[in-house]
Amino acid sequence: MTSLLTNAKAADISPPVPTAHKHRRMSLWHLFLFPTALLFAIPLVQMFLASLSPQAELLRFPPPFIPSHLTFTGYARLFASSDVLLWLGNTVLVSSVAIISNIVLCSLAGYGFARLKFRGRNFGFLAIVATIMIPTQVLMIPTYLLFSRIGLVNTLGAAIVPWLATSFGIFLMRQFFLSIPAELEEAAVIDGCTRLQVFLRVVLPLAKPALATLAIFTLLGAWNDLIWPLIAINDPGAFTLQLGIANFQGARRTDWALLMAGNVVATLPLIVFFTIAQKQFVATMTLSGLKG
């Protein structure tokens, strides 16, 4: 893992430039790639189609492959009968706080562990790396007990607090800061800047690619998180989107148009982000591999 993380090249996976001029003939790989890509696309296409289908057609037997016409009644029922906009707002709030907090705290800590000399530095960093090994299932019960004692149960705080800072984020930022030459900072120190000024003015502007990776990692984690809200939030007023859609599928078993409309609301923002910033997303996936 370390070798992957430290290798800056690893994050860039654009296809190799062909060495010689080759004819762009029909490659046999299309015979494999086209059906595979289609198969991967079908679930999401089905999700969008079903969310726009008349509910009666989804429960006809046998169901049609393509709806006769598109309609927004699924969305109308979703917005009328659930607090989905509130949940969306909650999720946006949780994710934004998590992203801002991670960018601030993890870059500060990453810089401290990479550049500053102080007592306990190595031990502190080692302890943080060790926490990456601790699986969620070990933490579920005590975290629930902890949250109930400090009054976080049934509040959005239960969804936010576990995401305020991540050990992966610190690890990532430290690796990045180690990779940039220290001479730049030394010059600024000689010019009389304090450490914080050096960090804010010299180092942080260079760190944009790493911060983008950290932001995407946090966004995916906080937006899609199910387990922490699940154990600590029972109050529908503090539901996140994930908790909301996981819960109301029990109550609305076969109202597929409505359920898929909820799925679209929960997924579309991430799909849009992904298509805009595919390169950064893929780099983040390569570096992290953490999901859920």
Site for another protein in 169-198 (CB under 8 A): 169-170, 195
Q: Could you say which residues in the range 74-103 bind another protein, by CB under 8 A?
A: none
220 within 8 A of 291, measured Cβ to Cβ:
yes
CB of 180 or CB of 230, closer to another protein:
230
Q: Which stretch binds another protein (CB under 8 A): 78-86, 152-160, 185-193, 243-251?
A: 243-251
Provide the minimum distance between the beta carbon of 49 and another protein in the complex, in angstroms, as a whole number: 10
Q: Which stretch binds another protein (CB under 8 A): 5-13, 68-76, 81-89, 203-211?
A: 5-13
Half-sphere exposure of 113 (CA within 13 A, CB side): 23
161 near another protein (CB under 8 A): yes
Provide the minimum distance between the beta carbon of 181 and another protein in the complex, in angstroms, as a whole number: 20
249 near another protein (CB under 8 A): yes
H or E stretch covering 23: none
Among 131, 182, 187, 197, contact with another protein (rule: CB under 8 A): 131
CA-wise closest residue to 211 among 102, 120, 98: 102
Residue reference for tokens 């289908």: 53
H or E stretch covering 27: none
Residue reference for tokens 């654009």: 14
CB of 80 or CB of 275, closer to another protein:
275
265 within 8 A of 241, measured Cβ to Cβ:
yes
Q: Which stretch binds another protein (CB under 8 A): 82-90, 179-187, 203-211, 248-256?
A: 248-256
H or E stretch covering 215: helix 208-224
212 near another protein (CB under 8 A): no
CB of 47 or CB of 211, closer to another protein:
47
200 near another protein (CB under 8 A): no
Q: Which stretch binds another protein (CB under 8 A): 74-82, 151-159, 179-187, 256-264?
A: 256-264
Among 56, 100, 116, 276, contact with another protein (rule: CB under 8 A): 116
Distance, in Å, from the CA atom of 132 to the CA atom of 169, rounded to the nearest integer, reads 11
Rg of the chain (C-alpha set): 23
Kindly give, in sequence order, each residue whose CB lies less than 8 Å from that of residue 189, ignoring residues fewer than 6 positions away: 195, 198
Q: Which stretch binds another protein (CB under 8 A): 11-19, 78-86, 183-191, 207-215?
A: 11-19
Half-sphere exposure of 80 (CA within 13 A, CB side): 7
238 near another protein (CB under 8 A): no
220 near another protein (CB under 8 A): yes
40 near another protein (CB under 8 A): yes
228 within 8 A of 159, measured Cβ to Cβ:
yes
> In b/e form, how buried is each residue of 19-34, taking b as 16+ CB within 10 angstroms?
eeeeeeeeeeeeeeee
